[in-house]
Structure 1
Amino acid sequence: MAYEKLPVSTAKPVLSWAGHPLGSEEIQMAKNVASLPFVFKHVALMPDVHLGKGALVGSVVATKDALIPAAVGVDIGCGMMAVKTPYNAQKLDDKLKKIRLDLEAVIPVGFNENKEVEKKAGNWQGWADFKELHRGVQDLKGKAMKQMGSLGGGNHFIEVCLDTEENVWLMLHSGSRNIGNVLAQCHISTAKELAKMMQTYLPDPDLAYFVAASPNFHAYWHDLQWAQDYARFNRNVMMARFQKVVEKHLAGGKPMKPLLEVNCHHNYAEKEVHFGEDVYVTRKGAVRAQENDYGIIPGSMGTKSYIVKGKGNLESYCSCSHGAGRKMSRAKAKREFTLDDLLEQTNGVECRKDYGIIDEIPGAYKSIDEVMQQQSDLVEVVATLKQVVCVKG
């Protein structure tokens, strides 16, 4: 699949890998971003693109000398981690429910946090810089420490999966928890206040930005990198617990040696070089896919997920999709689907099957198969996974 150029009259073009016509609101959101004066070369839309706040989820925006905090979003550093284990499917016989219950006991989900700060979490080097973060979070260090090693809610999950060769994989999806959310909101608020004070014209108030030479930019960049590091380490802490649970049930507690580990962000910004120039790349619901980069593209609970390797497609800023992408809102999913629908669509998966997760039903998401077809020029598939255990936030 190659991209198509959207028929929009903006300063910079919009290249879309979606493979289907975008709605009027989605087109307007893409136009809003592409019209900003500091956007570099073009805006790239991934196959799972859908409405977000300010910028589309599933968009890649390269900028010169400016950053848009709301384009990164409030779940800074949200991403995926996967581990290929040396175990095979036979080891899982009659153990799925026990594994799920143990996972729910050792990894807090939703708004919950750990009762105590785990040693590994407490030793994270990032705590030394906490006092340098935005003043709006200075009373949250204790909460942030206790949330290190917790899942969160919404579409965050923990899964035991099998690949097509019956190998067991461990996979999880989470971000920077409450501390990342509050940091993002502090800086988004500052950017909006500045735009209002400077009477800066914006096609959407959520596209308020910081200019690179400014103190506000440097403060945001510092906090952004801190929150991204927190998110990555948070996944590491959870995965270590996850591995112990699986080792207990599949290997009598004997430590395993992972065959492959992948830990990647899909809501973040980094400095990169594209088309020979230094730029800031914001991936809002997109994964870096430079040549030989490993990435993770999950489907919804009840469908397939993919471990991929990047092809380094320059036009996509070396990026790919971050999942299936929603095709309906959470509220609409709750209206349209029943508990019977959930039971049917999660058949064969050991997971909660109650009204509390109907908004995460597979039917609320786009087809992961179609999403993958649209990005054959962005990634190659390394492994195709299907979950057998799913813990939702």
Structure 2
Amino acid sequence: MPVKIVLNKNAQQGSVPVKIYTDEIEPQALQQLKNIAQLPIVHSHVAAMPDVHLGKGATVGSVIPTVDAVIPSAVGVDIGCGMNAVRTSLHAHQLPDNLKALREAIEVKVPIGQGRHKMISARESACKLLAPGVDRLFEKHPGLLKRLHQPQKTWVTQMGTLGGGNHFIEICLDENNAVWVMLHSGSRGVGNAIGQHFIQLARKDMAGHIRNLPDKDLAYFSEGNHHLDDYIEAVSWAQEYARVNREEMMRLVLNCLKNFLPKFTLTSEVINCHHNYVMRERHFEQDIFITRKGAISAKKDQLGIIPGSMGAKSYIVRGRGIAESFHSCAHGAGRKMSRSAARQRFTRQDLEEQTRGVQCRKDKGVIDEIPAAYKDIDQVMDNQSDLVEVEHTLRQVICIKG
């Protein structure tokens, strides 16, 4: 679809445009985007992906380019949240007729919700690589320790765990009935602690200027503030933790599959991408920070993952490298209804009907993740056909929610 350009006519001089890849956007989310566009640190324009919706701190589905500054609340507390997917040599006919036992076995191997591993040695090699970085963070920022229960152990025992909310593990089939494993998670408790710590520091640093901000959640660190360098170091570590966490979960899931399925191999398509992060990149002939809040990188020929809701299709895509979107695209279907509204509106029977054919929880604890609470993934994909091309279309047969 043509990009919709919104100009903030009542904003202060210097406000940049907002370029939106959908006509479906709630007024509150649009106002959030306008608020971001007023900040003097924003470069060129703000881009909003087709799955855009109201978020905490900043709009989910937004791509925010900033010059020599970063907004911690825009990155949020689930730092490095993203997707991991692999295609196996298995096909649908090799799966067991009853998938419940396989789902339950995966739930035992990979702790979900608030669960964590009891044995810290299981992921020792992965944690050993990350240990020096987190030790430096705890030394430089003792306030982080107060935000974590048993901080030195928490980040280790949560390695290779799913978490809650919309995080998931799925077994999927593509258009050729090949079996894929796909999962969604982030940096767990330690990433949350880092996010909250630096969000509060940014608000404290800007205490004298907070009235000049369109939203207190948009407090930022700018060049010359030592907290900016500290934050970039911390957020980079959390993003790496999130990436490794997904790899560890994937390893655990694949090992579990070996106990139920014929011998298999992995194809060359192994994808691990963030959709909640900040990176230094070059756009429009300038080196800037790019914050993708619910968006993935879609550089030319780069593979990415765009999941639908539980019960809907998901897509493996290849980026087209479009400059206007800052080489970005949507990260999923995007919510169209809050969790509380979904719980009030839908019943367990509704959940069972909308997830028919998928082996998953169908209890009231996951009603807020019902497919009807999300946007139509096909419409999202239509709206970003200029940004990505579809490589594979997936449908889940097992879905494990946190």
Q: Please say whether Structure 1 and Structure 2 have the same fold, judged by a TM-score greater than 0.5.
A: yes
Q: Which amino acid aligns with 1:164?
A: E
In 2, are the aligned partners of 1:247 and 1:256 still within 8 Å (CA)?
A: no
The 10-residue stretch of structure 1 (188-197 or 123-132) with the greater mean CA deviation from structure 2: 123-132
Residue 266 of structure 1 corresponds to: 275
Q: Report the alpha carbon displacement of residue 55 of structure 1 after superposing the two structures with TM.
A: 1.5
Tell me, in whole angstroms, the C-alpha distance in 2 between the residues paired with 1:365 and 1:24: 17
Residue 18 of structure 1 corresponds to: 22
Tell me, in whole angstroms, the C-alpha distance in 2 between the residues paired with 1:95 and 1:242: 18
Query: Structure 2 vs 1, CA of residues 113 and 227 (structure 1 numbering), >3 Å: closer, same or farther?
Result: same
Residue 303 of structure 1 corresponds to: 312
Q: Secondary structure at the match of 1:295?
A: strand
Q: Report the alpha carbon displacement of residue 129 of structure 1 after superposing the two structures with TM.
A: 1.7
**How many residue pairs were aligned?**
390
Q: Report the alpha carbon displacement of residue 200 of structure 1 after superposing the two structures with TM.
A: 5.9
Q: Report the alpha carbon displacement of residue 256 of structure 1 after superposing the two structures with TM.
A: 2.4
Tell me, in whole angstroms, the C-alpha distance in 2 between the residues paired with 1:198 and 1:302: 46
Q: Report the alpha carbon displacement of residue 121 of structure 1 after superposing the two structures with TM.
A: 4.3
Q: Which amino acid aligns with 1:225?
A: S
Give 1:204's match in structure 2, choosing from 195, 215, 229.
Answer: 215
- What do you get for the CA RMSD once the two structures are aligned? 1.3
The 10-residue stretch of structure 1 (335-344 or 199-208) with the greater mean CA deviation from structure 2: 199-208
| Unaligned segments of structure 2, at least 5 residues | none
Q: Which runs of 4+ in 1 moved over 4 A?
A: none
In 1, are the aligned partners of 2:118 and 2:157 still within 8 Å (CA)?
A: yes
Tell me, in whole angstroms, the C-alpha distance in 2 between the residues paired with 1:19 and 1:163: 29
Query: Structure 2 vs 1, CA of residues 349 and 121 (structure 1 numbering), >3 Å: closer, same or farther?
Result: farther
Tell me, in whole angstroms, the C-alpha distance in 2 between the residues paired with 1:203 and 1:297: 31
Q: Report the alpha carbon displacement of residue 141 of structure 1 after superposing the two structures with TM.
A: 2.1
Tell me, in whole angstroms, the C-alpha distance in 2 between the residues paired with 1:385 and 1:292: 19
Query: What are the equivalent positions in structure 2 for 1:275-354 lying under 5 Å apart?
Result: 275-354=284-363
Residue 8 of structure 2 corresponds to: 8
Cα deviations across residues 136-184 of structure 1 (Å, max 9, x unaligned)?
A: 2345120110000000000000000000110000000000001000110
Cα deviations across residues 324-370 of structure 1 (Å, max 9, x unaligned)?
A: 00000000000000011000000000011100000000010000000
In 2, are the aligned partners of 1:244 and 1:255 still within 8 Å (CA)?
A: no
Q: Secondary structure at the match of 2:391?
A: strand
Tell me, in whole angstroms, the C-alpha distance in 2 between the residues paired with 1:178 and 1:13: 35
| Unaligned segments of structure 1, at least 5 residues | none
Residue 214 of structure 1 corresponds to: 225
Q: Sequence identity of aligned pairs in percent?
A: 49
Cα deviations across residues 199-224 of structure 1 (Å, max 9, x unaligned)?
A: 56111000000012221101111000
In 2, are the aligned partners of 1:95 and 1:249 still within 8 Å (CA)?
A: no
Tell me, in whole angstroms, the C-alpha distance in 2 between the residues paired with 1:261 and 1:371: 24
TM-score, normalised relative to structure 1: 0.97
Q: Secondary structure at the match of 1:181?
A: helix
In 1, are the aligned partners of 2:7 and 2:16 still within 8 Å (CA)?
A: no
In 2, are the aligned partners of 1:67 and 1:210 still within 8 Å (CA)?
A: yes
Residue 233 of structure 1 corresponds to: 244
In 1, are the aligned partners of 2:21 and 2:383 still within 8 Å (CA)?
A: yes
Cα deviations across residues 44-71 of structure 1 (Å, max 9, x unaligned)?
A: 0000000012311000000001100000
Cα deviations across residues 19-48 of structure 1 (Å, max 9, x unaligned)?
A: 33x332122111100000010000000000
Pair 1:37-2:46 in alignment: no
Residue 105 of structure 1 corresponds to: 108
In 2, are the aligned partners of 1:86 and 1:259 still within 8 Å (CA)?
A: no
TM-score, normalised relative to structure 2: 0.95
Cα deviations across residues 109-150 of structure 1 (Å, max 9, x unaligned)?
A: 001100111443454311112121132234512011000000
Tell me, in whole angstroms, the C-alpha distance in 2 between the residues paired with 1:118 and 1:242: 18
